[in-house]
Structure 1
Amino acid sequence: MSATSASAPVHSEVALSEFFDGHPVATFAIDARHVVTHWNRACEHLLGWSKAEMIGTDQHWQAFYPRPRPLLADLIVTGQIDQLGLHYGDKFRPCALIPGAYEAEDFFPNLGAGGHWLHFTAAPLRDSRGRLVGAIETLRDVTERRVAENALRRAYDNLEHVVHKRTAQLAEMNEQLQDDIRQRLLAEAELRNRNLELTALNDQLSRAQQQLVQSDKLASIGQLAAGVAHEINNPVGYIFSNFSTLQGYLAQLFEMLDAYQRAEPALEAAAPAVAAALRARREQIDLDYLREDVPALMVESREGIVRVRHIVQDLKDFSRVDANQEWVWANLHRGIDSTLNIVSNEVKYKAEVVKEYGAIPDIQCLPLQINQVVMNLVVNAAHAIGAERGRITLRTGSAREDEVWLEVEDNGSGIPPDTLARIFDPFFTTKAVGQGTGLGLSLAYGIVRKHGGRIEVDSTPGAGSRFRVHLPVRQSDTPAPEDA
């Protein structure tokens, strides 16, 4: 044998050893006698045992466990890989990318402070004749991912529990309200049958009572909605924060992949087989596609989280359970947008909503009550639209410096002339029995009058209706009195 041919294996072993030592992934190798032959610097950093302590010994298990226990590499060398389940349970599986290799994840309580989760892959080493001469094992610290997964799972479980609890409370409240309404209807019928002479007085008392019930109902639902919004906002907050961190980690991972690709020419010269395996793996996972698709998925997911935060904020703004019922300066457009978000499910299947906002100043008002007016007008417009999808237009404007107006227009069924004069009367409704209380427009009318404003109606049967609400910009020292 020539000197050149004799030195070739030596150079190859030196190059392989240098590659192992400089590889960023913790890697070690054992021979057929379970003696450690390679233990790179990443392995020293991760496990805390130096190369000098490990090379040439068969006690490599002590870096992982307090007592002797075979590792994946040991089971591969001894041919006992079918006994993996005895040592690792169901936490292992064959590696899809490397024939004959296996991978697993396990928790090692004696590594570092509090222990670490490690993902490890082991593959057999064979000589030129295909004989098993040892095994190689790589390890990656996946503790952060495991902790993040557990935190996300706990957040999901907590959110599901809250939703179930709030849903049950809402169902119970709705049942109580329905029973209350039935009892009041029976009481009204009995009073009318017993004393016809007191009909007018009974109507007035019932009006006041029903309006009080409606106000209490809205306050209770608003309080419940604000509670749900608060509970949702907490997990969404840290999910949003973790998502931003995850985007940074992905950017770093792609930078590392770029560095690996730039090192491929050097790896090609030093270890062609390894370089070929890396190219095959890159093509198999379609790395170029992942580079394009993963950022797009992250952007889309971030938009979804932002959308949830906006819905939660609108829910809190609309409910305003902490409102002190004092006259404040408010942005009318913001209140309309918040209300439209809340009634979206009631409207989106019936009509297209178009907003044509004008330039108007902030107004002095009770924001929660103005939101109630907008909600009643928009929901009524949606109910007036037939089977075919319609259109609801909201406009704002100002004809005078001391007054603004908002308008809700639909292309629904319209209101007959003989009905138009009674639409603001309490308990008057054109809906089927059980589908309306007849208080929506009456409450809206009372709120507008309380603000010193007025409501104008323009309707054509078969063509639609338009409600215009005029409101003063500034309230006088004494708000306009409500109707007796």
Structure 2
Amino acid sequence: MDNQAYPLPSSLFPLANALSNGIALHRDGQVLFANKAFSQLTGYAPDDLAKLDFWALFPPEVQAEARQRERLGPDDEPVPARYEALVQTRQGEARWVELSLSQQAVQGIATTLCILVDITDRKRAEEALRRVHTDLEAQVENRTAELQQAKASLEDDIARREGAELELLKRYAELTELNCLLHETQQQLVQSEKLASIGQLAAGVAHEINNPIGYVSSNIRSLQDYITRLFQVLDVYQATEAALPDAARARIDKIKHEADFDYLRDDIHELIRESAEGTERVRKIVQDLRDFSRSDTAQQWQAADLHMGLDSTLNIASNEIKYRADVVREYGAIPLVECLPSQLNQVFMNLFVNAAQSIPDGRRGTLSVRTGHAGEQVWIEVEDDGCGIPSETLDRIFDPFFTTKPVGKGTGLGLSLSYGIIQKHHGKITASSTPGSGTLFRITLPVHQPAEPGTPE
């Protein structure tokens, strides 16, 4: 193909051949000019291109639209067109090109200017990117499906566990309605709650302390008697000092002054008295501890002084209370009450400990204990000025296993067991509370237990 035969100024041939993009001019499919880059991209020599239909190089869908554009009338505004197409080179290699078409008048001849840009590498990169994107989407879909499956499995497991918990609570409620199992369960749980309140080793420690305290108390009484006798002897010696020689009296006076004899004589009685009071207090604490820890295995009802039980329990709980609150006793005149004393002591213990623990850190509170008598009933009130109980949970405080304390700080059985014990005594326990102001528990008990059916009066 002789470039000079093309309708293109000869001065533009070197410039066109120097371009890296393929450039060609055609008219009605006949190639009039093609630069070197166009020949290299298509694989056809210029002479071969002159013999080809230009559009045979491109897919049919590109041909149809491009030919339509070429048929625009002379008054129509030519619109440049740009296509991406897969071109088969003469060697059979498929290459992606970007084809730009525009109508041009060259030396008075209407032609179509074609510019080819090789975009094969870009298209391959895009295809690789699409494959990666597709793979990632597939992985995301697979992972999402796995997570959804795991979520469904977890939800099923949670539902099963919740169902099991509900079934457990239902079973517990059913068991508590059976009197024969209720008595046995309460005995075990009451004893367990005692151990949780005063410590696992309380009863054992009390037993171990009791014997040596007995020795010490007995020895202090004997020591007091011995010292009294010794002072009687000293009084006799002191009465005879006037008959002694002056030198002997001076020596005795010096020794008595150095030993501060008069102070020792007065203080030794006070020391023995304080020691006796201390051992008596220890003995009382040990006795309270033993009484509190003793299990009512025989379930023997007896007439008991509730004031004694309250004082004994306050003494046992003093370590829990004394750093948080001052105890105010407002006891009224009440008769002896037929009861199981140690079980009522357990109720008192739960109320005292709960009251002390409800008082916030940083301030000292007040724990008030009141008693009274009305007809054939006695009442006991335990009131604190702690943080109080919210109204939405107040109705649930006697439910088994319900607790507002942190995990590991409470079993949720204390008030439930207390409620059961009071019910067993044919009494009533109620609670009223104002959040931020404190809580009041009131227990009402009959003075005499009603006779069981079939029991002779």
- What TM-score, normalized to structure 1? 0.55
1:388-403 equivalences under 5 Å are: 388-400=363-375, 402-403=376-377
Runs of 5+ consecutive residues of structure 2 not aligned to the other structure? 1-155, 177-184
SS at match of 1:430: coil
Residue identity in the other structure for 2:289: L
Indicate yes or no: 2:435 matched with 1:469. no
Bigger Rg, which one:
2
Residue identity in the other structure for 2:292: F
Counterpart contact for 2:365–2:385, Cα < 8 Å: yes
SS at match of 1:457: strand
CA distance 1:357–1:323, shift in 2 (3 Å): farther
Counterpart contact for 1:192–1:199, Cα < 8 Å: no
Alignment partners' CA distance in 2, 1:360 and 1:392: 21
**Alpha-carbon deviation of 1:323?**
4.6
**Alpha-carbon deviation of 1:359?**
0.9
Indicate yes or no: 2:224 matched with 1:247. yes
Deviations 1:345-404 (A, max 9, x none): 11111111111111111111121211111111111101110121111011111122x111
Residue identity in the other structure for 2:371: T
Indicate yes or no: 2:168 matched with 1:202. yes
Counterpart contact for 2:296–2:342, Cα < 8 Å: no
Residue identity in the other structure for 1:397: G
CA distance 1:420–1:219, shift in 2 (3 Å): closer
Q: 1:278 aligns with which of 252, 267, 283?
A: 252
Number of the residue aligned with 1:453: 427
Number of the residue aligned with 1:215: 190
SS at match of 2:244: helix
Alignment partners' CA distance in 1, 2:310 and 2:339: 14
Alignment partners' CA distance in 2, 1:264 and 1:436: 71
CA distance 1:195–1:463, shift in 2 (3 Å): closer
Runs of 5+ consecutive residues of structure 1 not aligned to the other structure? 1-189, 480-484
CA distance 1:415–1:196, shift in 2 (3 Å): closer
SS at match of 1:418: helix
Residue identity in the other structure for 1:276: A
**Alpha-carbon deviation of 1:478?**
3.5
Indicate yes or no: 2:278 matched with 1:304. yes
Counterpart contact for 1:372–1:444, Cα < 8 Å: yes
**Alpha-carbon deviation of 1:246?**
0.9
- What TM-score, normalized to structure 2? 0.58
CA distance 1:282–1:371, shift in 2 (3 Å): same
SS at match of 2:379: strand
Indicate yes or no: 2:306 matched with 1:340. no
Counterpart contact for 2:295–2:342, Cα < 8 Å: no
Deviations 1:436-464 (A, max 9, x none): 11111111111111211111222111111
Counterpart contact for 1:328–1:365, Cα < 8 Å: yes
Deviations 1:19-42 (A, max 9, x none): xxxxxxxxxxxxxxxxxxxxxxxx
Alignment partners' CA distance in 1, 2:380 and 2:282: 28
**Alpha-carbon deviation of 1:204?**
3.6
SS at match of 1:292: helix
**Alpha-carbon deviation of 1:326?**
2.5
Q: How many residues align?
A: 286
SS at match of 1:469: strand
Number of the residue aligned with 2:62: none
**Alpha-carbon deviation of 1:424?**
1.2
Number of the residue aligned with 1:315: 289
Number of the residue aligned with 2:241: 264
**Alpha-carbon deviation of 1:324?**
1.3
**Alpha-carbon deviation of 1:322?**
6.1
SS at match of 1:462: coil
Residue identity in the other structure for 1:313: Q
**Alpha-carbon deviation of 1:200?**
2.9
RMSD: 2.6
Residue identity in the other structure for 1:395: R
Alignment partners' CA distance in 1, 2:157 and 2:238: 87
Residue identity in the other structure for 2:244: L
Identity of aligned residues (%): 54
**Alpha-carbon deviation of 1:285?**
0.6
Residue identity in the other structure for 2:408: G
CA distance 1:199–1:251, shift in 2 (3 Å): closer
Residue identity in the other structure for 2:254: A
Alignment partners' CA distance in 1, 2:386 and 2:431: 14
**Alpha-carbon deviation of 1:211?**
6.1
Counterpart contact for 1:247–1:298, Cα < 8 Å: yes
